[in-house]
């Protein structure tokens, strides 16, 4: 007799432990496109489901409700309904609460497996109060997905932050300096290399210039256009002399050019206004 009772205890114990607690998270979408966070936790035993739902988690209207229903293993479909409020943060009259009746079915595969379906809400007096769609995923899988997505988002944000910081450093723009015949200016530069941009910011009128760096031609009798000309320059230690010479005056004197010198963090905007054969000097000190 004792042996039979022992085996009966073992069978009952195995039966109780085999009941898995299901946890799902997702949203319910009302017909007016409002989305509300929704969670469920329940156990299923021989097709009978009992547990609870949480609507609007971590909000002022968070509400925990008792749920019950059935599960069809053949169709992998749950038919569930909220029966009573267990607790709520809402200050609304309990008679105004809307109880969800849902039918959700398993869709998707592997990591994309989820439950989707439709729901209808009813007041305690049986009047319809809401309807819409519901999407749920196993809470653990959803949290993993959220964590994975958040890591990607954080990585992208950090990447954009570094990019913007770098861009910000590169885009320190000083006030525009105007150089006329015989003028010169000095630039302190921390880079081994710089970029020089030269163009005609006004109407193209055939202005031509010659650029020399430390006595060597880098542009000779160049006609400036609206499109910017880019030149990469490697500097020598100490002082580098950049000379801009007007080789004609175009159709509308004086010869006017826009020049921009860029190192790794600073832009130096310059305008030259030169008479024929005249020049201006930019001293770049590394």
Residue 22 bridge partners (DSSP): 42
Note whether 184 and 270 are same-domain residues. Answer: yes
Q: What is the CATH number of the domain that holds 209?
A: 2.60.120
Pairing verdict, β 266-274 and 177-180: parallel
34 vs 246: which has the higher pLDDT = 246
What is the total count of domains within the chain? 2
Q: Are residues 113 and 195 both part of a single domain?
A: no
Quick one: which of 28, 55, 51 has its CA closest to 41?
51
52 and 134 assigned to the same domain: yes
Q: Does 5 reside within a domain?
A: no
Q: Is there a contact between 108 and 81 (Cβ–Cβ < 8 Å)?
A: no
Predicted pLDDT of residue 94? 83
Residue whose tokens read 């650029």: 211
146 in a structural domain: no
- Lowest-pLDDT range of 41-45, 49-53, 148-152, 159-163: 148-152
Please give the residue that has the higher pLDDT: either 254 or 146: 254
Query: Is residue 93 located within the same domain as residue 204?
Result: no
Quote the CA–CA distance of 242 and 218 in Å, as a whole number.
Answer: 10
Q: What share of the chain has pLDDT > 70, as a percent? A: 87
Let me know if residue 164 belongs to a domain: no
28-32, 89-93, 97-101 — most confident range: 97-101
Quick check: 259 pLDDT over 50?
A: yes
**133 and 191 part of one domain:** no
| Parent domain of 53 | 18-141
How many CB atoms lie under 10 A from the CB of residue 160? 11
Cα(36)–Cα(25) distance, integer angstroms: 11
In degrees, to the nearest 5, what angle opens at C-alpha 110 toward C-alphas 105 and 111?
A: 95
Average pLDDT in the chain? 85
pLDDT at 10 over 80: no
Same domain, 190 and 87: no
Of the residues 91, 125, 141, which one is the last residue of a structural domain?
141
Q: Is residue 152 part of a domain?
A: no
Residue 179: pLDDT band (50, 70, 90) is very high
Pair 185, 243 in one domain: yes
Query: Is 91 in the same domain as 183?
Result: no
Going by C-beta distance under 8 Å and a sequence separation of 6 or more, which residues neighbour residue 138? 22, 23, 24, 113
What the block records as the tokens of 103 is 């039918």
Residue 111: pLDDT band with limits 50, 70, 90 = low
Is 154 a member of any domain? no
**pLDDT over threshold 60, residue 102:** yes
Flag whether 107 is in a domain.
yes
Please tell me whether residues 129 and 176 are part of one structural domain. no
Is residue 62 located within the same domain as residue 113? yes
Residue 274 neighbours by CB under 8 Å, 6+ apart:
179, 180, 181, 209, 244, 245, 246, 254, 255, 256, 280
* 84 lies in the same domain as 189: no
* pLDDT surpassing 50 at residue 4: no
Give the model's confidence band at 95: pLDDT under 50 very low, under 70 low, under 90 confident, else very high. Answer: confident
Which pLDDT does position 5 carry in this prediction?
Answer: 38
Instruction: Give the per-residue pLDDT at 146.
Output: 60
Strands 255-262 and 216-223: unpaired
Stretch 252-258: mean pLDDT, rounded? Answer: 91
Q: Which residues of 114-141 are buried (b: 16+ CB within 10 A; e: fewer)?
A: bbebebbbbeeeeeeebebebbbbbbeb
What is d(CA 261, CA 26) in angstroms, rounded to the nearest whole number? 55
Domain edge (last residue) among 141, 161, 194: 141
> Is 214 contained in some domain?
yes
CATH assignment at residue 120? 2.40.128
Asked if residue 254 has a cis previous peptide bond (ω within 30° of 0), the answer is yes
Both 128 and 22 in one domain: the answer is: yes
Q: Which of 92, 119, 141 is the last residue of a domain?
A: 141
Residue 119 in any domain: the answer is yes
Residue 30: pLDDT band (50, 70, 90) is confident
pLDDT digits (tens, 9 = 90+) for 113-130: 889 999 999 998 899 999
Q: Are 173 and 230 in contact (CB under 8 A)?
A: no
| DSSP state, residue 112 | G
């Amino acid at each position: 007799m004792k042996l039979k009772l022992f085996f009966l205890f073992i069978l009952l114990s195995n039966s109780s432990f085999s009941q898995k607690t299901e946890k799902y998270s997702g949203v319910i979408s009302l017909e007016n496109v409002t989305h509300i966070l929704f969670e469920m936790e329940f156990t299923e035993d021989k097709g009978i489901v009992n547990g609870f739902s949480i609507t609007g988690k971590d909000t002022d209207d968070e509400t925990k409700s008792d749920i019950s229903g059935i599960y069809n293993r053949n169709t992998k479909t749950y038919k569930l309904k909220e029966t009573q409020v267990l607790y709520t943060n809402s200050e609304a009259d309990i008679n105004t609460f809307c109880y969800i009746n849902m039918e959700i079915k398993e869709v998707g595969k592997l990591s994309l497996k989820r439950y989707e379906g439709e729901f209808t809400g009813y007041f305690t007096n049986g009047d319809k109060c809401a309807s819409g769609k519901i999407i749920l995923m196993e809470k653990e899988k959803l949290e993993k997905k959220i964590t994975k997505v958040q890591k990607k988002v954080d990585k992208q944000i950090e990447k954009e932050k570094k990019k913007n910081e770098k861009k910000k450093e590169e885009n320190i723009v000083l006030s525009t300096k105007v150089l006329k015949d015989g003028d010169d200016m000095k630039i302190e530069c921390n880079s081994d290399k710089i970029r020089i941009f030269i163009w005609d910011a006004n109407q193209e009128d055939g202005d031509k210039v010659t650029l020399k760096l430390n006595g060597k031609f880098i542009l000779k009798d160049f006609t400036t256009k609206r499109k910017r000309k880019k030149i990469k320059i490697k500097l020598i230690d100490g002082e580098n002399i950049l000379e801009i010479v007007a080789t004609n005056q175009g159709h509308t004197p004086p010869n006017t050019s826009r020049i921009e010198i860029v190192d790794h963090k600073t832009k130096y905007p310059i305008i030259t206004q030169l008479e024929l054969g005249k020049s201006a000097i930019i001293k770049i000190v590394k």
